[in-house]
Chain A
Amino acid sequence: MSVQSPPAALTEAPAPIQKVEPAEKWRRLLMAPSVVPLLLWMVIPLALTIYFSFIHYSLESQAGNFSFVGLQNYQFLWGDYRFLTAILNTIIFLVSVLVITVVVGVLLAVLYDQDFPGKNIAMLLVIAPFFVMPTVTAQIWDRLFMDPIYGVIAQFLQAIGIPPIDWLQSYPLLSIIIMVSWEWIPFSFLILVTALKSLDQEQKEAAAIDGAGSFTLFRRIVLPHLEKAIGVVVMIEMIFLLSIFAEIFTTTKGGPGDASTTLAYLVYSLGINQFDAGIASAGGILAVILANIVSFFLVRMLAKNLRQNA
């Protein structure tokens, strides 16, 4: 739903020469079922979010509602220590999950690019967590694994004489990072292992004959080949991770204190818990701006790709 226009070069792409026929008028209408709803879905909510962010809008009391307050909502957010905490948490969360998923994803892609018995089944096991709904992920990690008394981790640690850890209380953000990484490593792995398949086997063999060791092979041939796919993984994950909500909502509720409050959770808690639609919208706009910076690069890359395939 970003508001940028596609690169100009695209509109100049050569089009097949067509006769203007009467049927063409009707064919244009075929675009309406997808374009009109998407336009509404994109323009109206975004315009409303921008509008709300400049007015006083309490869902609780009517006093002063809809009065224009300029940048006050943004100023309030900026002055609120929770906002700075949320921004910091969002950055720590995003960077950690991205680094973990990409690094582990690349290593796993290389491993499962090798041939061994039962490889396909082992791969299915690695991919499985991506299909687990986020609230189930949150619940099983919280209550079956990270619980300090009943959790598998605590009971295992106790068996070898290490005192159990109350993960979600003591390390809330780290716990969320672990859960989300478990869900998204399969995604990056699946993309990267697919990309690796298109690497020319002969190129690898030629390099091996030239005496390249496995590390040189990895650094000089495998990594450069995966560069584009890694870019795609990073951008798509960023867009999804900016709105990560269910894992926090189900487990820590942003706490203890604000220790696991991210920008997405803050917007929810300001708007839907504390009924301040104006300030929450200002937070929403900041998330949109962040996402737009990312999607600008993603759309440029997709445009290049479309042109190559056309």
Chain B
Amino acid sequence: MSKSALAKLGFAVLGWFIGALFFFPIFWIAVTSFKSESDAATASLIFQPTLDAFVGIFTGTDYFLNVRNSIFLSFGSTILCFILAIPSAYRMAFYPTQKTQSLLLWMLSTKMMPAVGVLIPIYLVWKWLHLFDTVIGLIIVNALMNLPIAVWMAYTYFSEVPKGILEAGRIDGATAGQELWHLLRPMTMPGLSSTALLLIILSWNEAFWSLNLTGHDSAPLTAFIASQTGSQGQTLAALSAASLLAIGPIMIMGWFTQKQLVRGLTFGAVK
């Protein structure tokens, strides 16, 4: 075997080993979720698979309510975020002024406030406004938190559209609405839809505000999972089943948004 082929084999073994190591806790959730509660208490791979744990969480808890809240929260905040972000991104990308760059930076800098710095006032204001323990209250918080990312991403995708195409459209007499729908939408759709996926993932997994601003009624999955205390070792299969369903779909979405994740979370500093 040549030296480079040997090196390649070494990299492959190491690369796969490390991948397996990082993934092992997730694999273990999946395994445990198909065990009976008594099997779940031992770390064995030999067991009689059963769906009891899944049946248990669907019949014994308000799991559907939490799933529904998480779906409303992540899709609702993403839609709200886009409604607020698109007009500004459009304006900044196609009609920039001297102030555009400073404005963009100011928006990004709002993302840098640690949530804990505004926990107390938001908690109190949300109670005063009767937004506490409501899904709509959480949707607003998440939309505002993700707004700078959405503006930034939409701005960069709009900026990549060749200016000549829009001008040609205008010469042909397209109105602003037609321009948006027939020219911009198809050209920026791939970028914008993966941005939407990224925002859905971020708000699906957001836990700081969902733990502090929800009670029973509006608790999304993050809060539901946190409340599953049970005595140690007794409800491991149920916990695993609930966890697996909470992270499975979102992880698959995450795998498809890697590039947008890097771009969105570093504000374009790394591409």
Q: Which residues of A contact B (CB under 8 A)?
A: 1-2, 4-6, 10-13, 15-16, 18, 24, 27-28, 30-31, 33-35, 37-38, 41-42, 44-46, 48-49, 52, 59, 108, 111-112, 114-119, 121-136, 138-141, 143-145, 147, 149-152, 155-156, 182, 185-187, 190-191, 194-195, 198, 228-229, 232, 236, 239, 242-243, 245-246, 249-250, 263-264, 267-268, 271-272, 277, 280-281, 284-285, 287-288, 290-292, 294-295, 298-299, 301-303, 305-307, 309-310
Closest to A33 in B: B84
B165 lies within 8 A of chain A by Cβ: no
Contact residues in A for B208 (Cβ distance below 8 Å): 243, 245-246
B51 within 8 A of A: no
Residue pair B25, A30 in contact (C-beta under 8 Å)? no
Q: B187 → chain A, closest Cβ, in Å?
A: 19
B90, B99, B121: the one within 8 Å of A49 (CB): B121
Bound together, the chains give a CA A46 to CA B212 distance in angstroms of 18
B246 to chain A, nearest CB (A): 6
The distance in angstroms between the C-alpha atoms of A28 and B95, with both chains bound, is: 9
Residues of chain A within 8 A (CB-CB) of B88 are: 30-31, 33-35
Measured between beta carbons, the chain A residues less than 8 angstroms from B228 are 139
Q: Are A309 and B246 within 8 A (Cβ)?
A: no
Chain B residues within an 8 Å CB radius of A114: 7-8, 11, 15
Number of residues on chain B facing chain A (CB within 8 A)? 102
Q: How far is the CB of B103 from chain A (nearest CB, A)?
A: 7
Q: At the interface, yes or no: B196 with Cβ under 8 Å from chain A? A: no
* A310 vs B97: C-alpha distance when bound (angstroms): 12
**Complex A-B: 11 CB contacts under 8 Å:** A34-B88, A45-B122, A128-B23, A131-B250, A133-B225, A139-B239, A152-B43, A156-B43, A271-B123, A284-B117, A298-B112
Distance in angstroms between the alpha carbons of A27 and B97 in the assembled complex = 11
Q: A243-B115, A264-B115 are in contact. List 6 more A-B contacts (CB 8 A).
A: A1-B113, A2-B110, A46-B118, A127-B255, A194-B270, A229-B269
Known: A37-B84, A116-B11. A48 touches B112 (CB 8 A): no
**Cα-based distance from A73 to B125 in the complex (angstroms):** 21
Nearest residue (CB) in B for A263 is B116
Map CB proximity to A onto B124-151 as digits: 1 under 8 Å, 0 otherwise.
1100000000000000000010011001
CB B226 to nearest CB in A, in angstroms, measures 4
Q: Which residues of A contact B29 (CB under 8 A)?
A: 136, 140, 144
Q: Is B67 an interface residue (CB 8 A)?
A: no
How many whole Å from A43's CB to the nearest CB in chain B?
A: 10
With A115-B8, A191-B262, A249-B211 known to touch, is A122 a contact of B114 (CB < 8 Å)? no
- Give the residue name and chain of the B residue nearest to A186 (CB): B22
Closest to B243 in A: A136
CB of B63 within 8 A of chain A? no
Top-3 shortest CB links A-B: A1-B113, A125-B19, A295-B112
Of A27, A125, A127, A267, the contact of B258 (CB 8 Å cutoff): A127
A236 in contact with B265 (CB, 8 Å): yes
Q: How distant is B214 from chain A, measured CB to nearest CB, in Å? A: 12
Q: Which of A38, A115, A267 contacts B148 (CB 8 A)?
A: A38
Find chain B residues with CB under 8 A from A198 CB.
Answer: 271
Q: Taking the complex as formed, is B55 at the interface, i.e. its CB lies under 8 A from any CB of chain A? A: no
Residues of A within 8 Å of B14, CB to CB, are: 111
B116 touches A133 (CB 8 A): no
Is chain A's interface secondary structure helix, strand, loop, or mixed overall? helix
Most chain A CB inside 10 Å of its own CB: which residue of B11, B95, B97, B113: B113
Beta-carbon nearest neighbor of A265 in chain B: B116
A135, B20: Cα distance in complex, Å? 22
Cβ–Cβ < 8 Å partners of A303 in chain B: 101, 105
Q: Is the CB of A309 within 8 A of B268?
A: yes
Q: In the assembled complex, which residues on chain B have CB atoms less than 8 Å from the CB atom of A37? A: 84, 144, 147
Once the chains are docked, how many angstroms separate the CA of A267 from the CA of B116? 7
Best-buried of B228, B240, B267 by chain A (most CB within 10 Å): B267
Residue B65 at the chain A interface, CB threshold 8 Å: no
A121 CA / B104 CA spacing, docked (Å) = 36
* Chain A residues in 8 Å Cβ range of B83: 33
CA distance A234 to B100 in the complex (A): 27
What's the Cα separation between A127 and B151 when bound, in Å?
Answer: 26
Q: Per-residue CB proximity of B192-210 to A under 8 Å, as 1/0? A: 0000000001001101100
What's the least CB distance linking B125 to chain A, in Å?
7
